[in-house]
Amino acid sequence: MSFPRHDFRISTTRAEALFASPLQRSCEPGAIQVQQAVNAALGAFGELGCVALVAQAYGDHPETAIARMRWARTAVARAFGDPRPEPALSGRFAAHHTFRAA
């Protein structure tokens, strides 16, 4: 089975934005709610702000952050018609999202 070309950077950005949003899995949001939450989070925090919130959550509460990111990846894949969610926090995460002390 082959999948169409997919831009994983866009998928990752959307998942990080959903993760950073206040939308909760328990609300069982539909595609439109997920799309709105992604757009609102990107508007409020920007791409780097969403990444920073994800990093903070992984540092403060890794046990819950893992489950939230899995949900965010799956919800984004469904809401935006992505062919498949990408693997959670692969080495690519560290390569694209590095933080430097000021």
How confident is the model over 3-37, as pLDDT tens digits? 444 466 889 999 999 999 999 999 999 999 999 99
- Asked whether residue 84 is assigned to any structural domain, the reply reads yes
- Asked whether residue 66 is assigned to any structural domain, the reply reads yes
Distance of alpha carbon 61 from alpha carbon 35, whole angstroms: 25
pTM of the shown model: 0.75
The label of the residue with tokens 């509460």 reads: 61
- Asked whether residue 61 is assigned to any structural domain, the reply reads yes
Range of the domain at 49: 35-97
- Asked whether residue 69 is assigned to any structural domain, the reply reads yes
The label of the residue with tokens 């990408």 reads: 86
- Asked whether residue 59 is assigned to any structural domain, the reply reads yes
Report how many domains make up the chain.
1
- Asked whether residue 72 is assigned to any structural domain, the reply reads yes
81 falls in which pLDDT band (50, 70, 90)? confident
pLDDT given at position 22? 97
The label of the residue with tokens 């990107």 reads: 42
How many residues comprise the chain? 102
- Asked whether residue 40 is assigned to any structural domain, the reply reads yes
Q: Is 101 helix (H, G, I), strand (E, B) or coil?
A: coil
